[in-house]
Structure 1
Amino acid sequence: MLGSAGVAGCPQGQEAFASCEIAGRNTEVFVCFDENQATYRYGAVGQSPDLELSVPIRKVDFGPWSGVGKSIVESIVFYNLGHSYAVYAGFDRPFSEGEMQREERHFGGLEVTRDDELLAELECVPKSVSYGFGGGIYDAKTTAGQRWDEVSRSWGDADRSASRQKLLQEEVQNGLVEECLPQSEFVLGGVAMGDPLTKLGKLGSPEPVEMGAEAGQAIDRIFARGLQIDLFQNKVIGLVGLSPSWETPSGFAVGVARADVIKIFGAVPGGEVASAARFGVLGCDRDTIENRKWFLGMTFGPDGRLQAIGMTHLAP
């Protein structure tokens, strides 16, 4: 939202996580927080903010210090209408007696992107940087029931325990041991891969989709409140979930944090790195009906939460 009355600084009742004056712009940025909210403010020095954004503390995209390196630096990102505003701040740790006698060097900056395109990369005036390392937003998020996962560099729910039994299974495919997902997981909100059209009830009427000559057989498609359903010969061959309303039996749904996705799987699937933008895993051959191969794909947003879940039939 746009800034209203008041001057730059923190909203009443919030404290500053980081702030600074932007070099060469006569503007300043403030990131403030309390136990419930985190706030971003940017505008002319000493004036009402031009842009103010607020997000619940559980959902704010905060990256704590990794614990390594000479510089202690943390970051926080706010999202609004396709734009992201990433504020970082930190200081260099002294390692020698000589360094301890010098003035501590602070640094910081602001990066603005739109749809992953960098629009502005702004630096703070070093002497203006205010940054309080330790506690702060980290403690507020843990108090709110979250836990930081360093491997995936994301926040998950502290009360979400890992699956009692590893969801990912193993089987021999083409002479190699591969991970796979049980057929029972290829369901979104009660709609399962392979379901006949007659089971879809009142979700909608299928419409033909022009896939192009190279795609082979034509398919039909239903859009149902954040769920895309593809059908071939009146059977479900593809599902795409774009809303938190559509969940798999084990709890995958749009909005679930990357750390929690890995907990549910029991491992990072498909040999990917934990911080990958996409995860993918094949259905188990031994569970697949009619010799059909299914595939589950997941896409994460810039905030490290599931943005889309897709299930597809690789050989309709």
Structure 2
Amino acid sequence: MSLTFGANPAAACPVGAETLVSCTLKKGRKALQTCLQGHQVSYAFGAKGATPDLQLSRHVSEVDLQPWPGIGRSIWEEFTVENQGVLYLVHYGFERMGEEVQSPLYGGVTVVQNGKTLAQLDCDVGSVTSAGYPLPLFAAKEAVGQTYAHESQSWH
């Protein structure tokens, strides 16, 4: 699948796919796009308006998801896509301000190799789009037979 980032990072998801988390970074110069289509998760990162520098596609069973544990003022989720020993941890969240009020979405990606953080990029304020909480990735993982154990915070 070849992707080109347009004016809106969400345009990179193929027809029929759901945006998991997308945003611009580095004052609009870079774009992050993650999508779910069936049982496939795609990850794309690169210069906005160009073919992404990195494109990955993984089966949902190969993508780790850390769901919100249900406590705290911030609701967040993080999922990890691995490529040759490099981990791309994509996160998003929002602060609960009250019953009906929430803050704008925030997000970003952290790149880790051998336990060392290589890069930590925050999404530009106001640019984050998401499928919303909970991400449809949770249901997709369950649909392929995985279950989440809250006690161990792991998928089986």
TM-score under structure 2 normalisation?
Answer: 0.86
More contact order relative to length (CA 8 Å, sep ≥ 6): 2
Give the aligned partner of residue 280 of structure 1. none
Give the aligned partner of residue 149 of structure 1. 149
Superposed, which structure 2 residues align to 1:204-219 within 5 Å? Answer: none
Question: What per-residue deviation string (whole Å, max 9, x for no partner) do you get for residues 201-256 of structure 1?
Answer: xxxxxxxxxxxxxxxxxxxxxxxxxxxxxxxxxxxxxxxxxxxxxxxxxxxxxxxx
Superposed, which structure 2 residues align to 1:164-175 within 5 Å? Answer: none
The one-letter code of the counterpart of 1:27 is K
The one-letter code of the counterpart of 1:65 is W
2:23 corresponds, among 20, 23, 37, to 20
Structure with larger Rg = 1
The one-letter code of the counterpart of 1:118 is T
TM-score under structure 1 normalisation?
Answer: 0.44
Give the aligned partner of residue 31 of structure 1. 34
Question: What per-residue deviation string (whole Å, max 9, x for no partner) do you get for residues 255-284 of structure 1?
Answer: xxxxxxxxxxxxxxxxxxxxxxxxxxxxxx
Give the aligned partner of residue 117 of structure 2. 118
Q: Do the aligned partners of residues 146 and 5 (structure 1) sit closer, same or farther apart at CA in structure 2, a change above 3 Å counting? A: closer
Uncovered stretches (5+) of structure 1, i.e. residues with no partner:
157-316
Q: Which runs of 4+ in 1 moved over 3 A?
A: none
Q: How far apart, CA to CA, are the structure 1 residues paired with 2:143 and 2:53?
A: 31
The one-letter code of the counterpart of 2:42 is T
Question: What per-residue deviation string (whole Å, max 9, x for no partner) do you get for residues 94-125 of structure 1?
Answer: 2268xx3xx73221111011211111111111
**How many positions carry a matched residue from both structures?**
149
Q: Do the aligned partners of residues 135 and 19 (structure 1) sit closer, same or farther apart at CA in structure 2, a change above 3 Å counting? A: closer
Question: What per-residue deviation string (whole Å, max 9, x for no partner) do you get for residues 65-88 of structure 1?
Answer: 111111111011111122111110
Does the residue aligned with 1:141 lie in a helix, a strand or coil? Answer: helix
1:66 corresponds, among 61, 66, 69, to 69
Q: Does 1:127 align with 2:98?
A: no
The one-letter code of the counterpart of 1:73 is W
Does the residue aligned with 1:104 lie in a helix, a strand or coil? Answer: coil
Q: Does 1:45 align with 2:31?
A: no
- % of aligned pairs identical? 34
Question: What per-residue deviation string (whole Å, max 9, x for no partner) do you get for residues 122-157 of structure 1?
Answer: 11112001121125111111111111111111111x
Pairwise CA distance, 1:25: 6.3
Question: 2:87 touches 2:111 (CA, 8 Å); kept in 1?
Answer: yes
Uncovered stretches (5+) of structure 2, i.e. residues with no partner:
6-11
Give the aligned partner of residue 255 of structure 1. none
Greater share of residues in strand: 2
Does the residue aligned with 1:58 lie in a helix, a strand or coil? Answer: helix
Cα-Cα RMSD: 1.9
Q: How far apart, CA to CA, are the structure 2 residues paired with 1:152 and 1:42?
A: 31
Q: How far apart, CA to CA, are the structure 2 residues paired with 1:36 and 1:48?
A: 23
Q: Do the aligned partners of residues 51 and 63 (structure 1) sit closer, same or farther apart at CA in structure 2, a change above 3 Å counting? A: same
Superposed, which structure 2 residues align to 1:109-258 within 5 Å? Answer: 109-131=108-130, 132-134=132-134, 136-156=136-156
Give the aligned partner of residue 7 of structure 1. 4
Superposed, which structure 2 residues align to 1:265-280 within 5 Å? Answer: none
